[in-house]
Amino acid sequence: MAEGRVVHTADRTLTGRQLASLLTPPPEGRFGYRELARAVREALLDGRVALRLRLPAERELAGVLGVSRTTVTGAYDLLRESGYAHSRRGAGTWTALPEGQAPTALGSFHGEGTATIDLALAAPEAPAAELAAALAAASAELPRYAGTQGYHPYGLPALRAAVAARYTARGLPTRPEQILVTTGAQQALSLVLTLLGRPSDRVLAENPSYANALDAMRGRGLRITPVPVTEAGWDTGLVEAALRQTAPRLAYLIPDFHNPTGRLMPQDQRREVARAARATRTWLVVDETLTDMALDVPAPRPFASGVGGGDGEQIVSVGSLSKSCWGGLRVGWVRAAAGVVTELARVRITADLAGSVLDQLVAVELMDRLGTILPARIAELRRRREALTAALARHVPEWRWTVPPGGMCLWIDLGRPVASALSARALRHGVRVEGGARFGVDPGTHEHRLRIPYTLAEEAYEPAAERLAAALDGAPGRFADPALPDWVA
């Protein structure tokens, strides 16, 4: 079985066992030809199975799955008919994507004007007044930089100083030299994985976890060791055992309002995890992008502030302004030891040289306005969370969830493993929603879960819940998506 849900093959051929390990099994436990075609399609869209790979021979896959060869033949026929595979005479069947179809990771980034309600992206709109004021102030500052080359691989000095000052004010003394400004938190994480990890290195990650982070790990060939995060939070005994047994090179954690569960790691558990990572010389990569989204509790202090480590501690933190301000402002950062920041800047130059000066000037202005922006954002998210939970309680009362103390999402328990099928049907009813498998380390996990953000306007949740209920009941869809063939439903 391929660890980390990604397969790298030199001859571009999947074996039957490799493909079977990457497929989400149907609720009934046995594949029919439609269920098998759907499972391969989902694995392609999720990135578990790469494009332009040769699928296993029909007889081989039938033997591994314990189904008839006719079942596999029918599934391959459906995949070819819908554009997810093509055949070469004498060379087998190869994976593909139909024209116009995007992978799951890109599915929510659709054009304006769609009738679909998007419950897949956990990203609020910008604080309009504050953004306009920040943009005006930044535009006035920009001419001072126009006479320079404009490249700042470490980040604009004023923004590095502002980020460092915020860490210091929150209880973690930080110098500007310890900050690298990046194009969002996703680039920050990608740079850290590139610098500190090598293909086949082990990385410990929570299960479930942030889907784009897991994709970044898989894309670099890292082998993921999962540790569970449940309704009760973290079991530090399991985390310590995983660290001892596998001694991973890296451990990726979201301790503040964990995405997608919304859990908040207690301070004593943070110390235990840091102590265990120190013993195995594991780099802790701490994602703090949701730290400011404290809805019912005080905002947590930075992870590194309370675990007894100094500047030399193997702790790297990533953050951004995407949740507190706006995702359209692509500004994030890494906080680490100054030497690590220098090495990250060297890696960063190969990616994009430097970030936008104008965006960084806007970010400086917005950070100065966080005292106004954050209270309004938190109050807004509380109202939206209440609107979402009320609408779901009315239309799908059988679903269960724990209201998180912060963050931006509900982690819904459907009570049965139907999330992938429901997500496909919901799209036909005009709602885009992510099934729990998208956030799982291993295929087939969290099939009884949905992640639903509360980042849309309050009035969106009543029609969204109505459409989800209709999809759950199997009512005919009103928003047919031509990119989805009938057999997916």
Query: Which of 92-106, 371-385, 426-440 is predicted with the least confidence, judged by mean pLDDT?
Result: 92-106
Question: Looking at the structure, do residues 304 and 189 belong to the same domain, yes or no?
Answer: yes
Question: Looking at the structure, do residues 90 and 155 belong to the same domain, yes or no?
Answer: no
Residue 96 has pLDDT above 70, yes or no: yes
DSSP string, 162-175: HHHHHHHHTT----
Residue 428 has pLDDT above 80, yes or no: yes
Number of domains in the chain: 3
Domain's final residue, options 368, 403, 424: 368
pLDDT, tens digit (0-9, with 9 covering 90-100), for 37-83? 988 888 887 777 888 889 999 999 999 999 999 999 999 999 999 88
Mean pLDDT along residues 378-404:
98
| Residue 443 half-sphere exposure toward CB, CA atoms < 13 A | 25
Return d(Cα 315, Cα 278) in angstroms, integer. Answer: 10
Top pLDDT among 285 and 35 is at 285
Domain's final residue, options 353, 368, 383: 368
Mean pLDDT along residues 122-142:
96
Q: Quick one: pLDDT band at residue 108, thresholds 50, 70, 90?
A: low
Residue 7 has pLDDT above 80, yes or no: no
Question: Looking at the structure, do residues 251 and 300 belong to the same domain, yes or no?
Answer: yes
Residue 402 has pLDDT above 70, yes or no: yes
Question: Looking at the structure, do residues 140 and 234 belong to the same domain, yes or no?
Answer: yes
Residue 414 has pLDDT above 90, yes or no: yes
Mean pLDDT along residues 124-131:
96
| Whole-number pLDDT of residue 28 | 67
| Whole-number pLDDT of residue 100 | 62
Could you give phi then psi for residue 189, rounded to 5 degrees?
-65, -45
Question: Looking at the structure, do residues 350 and 445 belong to the same domain, yes or no?
Answer: no
Beta-strand relationship, 233-234 and 223-230: antiparallel
Question: Looking at the structure, do residues 321 and 388 belong to the same domain, yes or no?
Answer: no
Mean pLDDT along residues 142-165:
96
| Whole-number pLDDT of residue 384 | 98
Beta-strand relationship, 85-88 and 92-95: antiparallel
Write down the number of H helices and E strands in the chain: 16, 14
Residue 3 has pLDDT above 60, yes or no: no
Question: Looking at the structure, do residues 205 and 301 belong to the same domain, yes or no?
Answer: yes
Domain CATH number, residue 19: 1.10.10.10
Domain CATH number, residue 387: 3.90.1150.10
| Whole-number pLDDT of residue 103 | 60
| Whole-number pLDDT of residue 475 | 62
Cβ neighbourhood burial of 13 (10 Å; 0-12, 13-18, 19+): middle
pLDDT, tens digit (0-9, with 9 covering 90-100), for 31-42? 889 889 988 888
pLDDT, tens digit (0-9, with 9 covering 90-100), for 157-207? 999 999 999 999 999 999 999 999 999 999 999 999 999 999 999 999 999
Range of the domain at 75: 3-95
Residue 2 has pLDDT above 70, yes or no: no
Mean pLDDT along residues 4-9:
44
Question: Looking at the structure, do residues 324 and 307 belong to the same domain, yes or no?
Answer: yes
Domain's final residue, options 335, 368, 401: 368
Domain CATH number, residue 162: 3.40.640.10
Question: Looking at the structure, do residues 164 and 254 belong to the same domain, yes or no?
Answer: yes
| Whole-number pLDDT of residue 122 | 93
Mean pLDDT along residues 456-475:
93
Reading the block at residue 288, the tokens are: 């703090």
Question: Looking at the structure, do residues 340 and 471 belong to the same domain, yes or no?
Answer: no
**What mean pLDDT, rounded, does the chain reach?**
89
Could you give phi then psi for residue 461, rounded to 5 degrees?
-80, -30
| Whole-number pLDDT of residue 46 | 72
Mean pLDDT along residues 114-130:
92
Instruction: Give the CA dihedral 156, 157, 161, 164, nearest 10 degrees.
Output: 60
Mean pLDDT along residues 310-333:
90
Question: Looking at the structure, do residues 151 and 19 belong to the same domain, yes or no?
Answer: no
Residue 101 has pLDDT above 80, yes or no: no
| pTM of the shown model | 0.80
Question: Looking at the structure, do residues 151 and 202 belong to the same domain, yes or no?
Answer: yes
Q: Quick one: pLDDT band at residue 6, thresholds 50, 70, 90?
A: very low
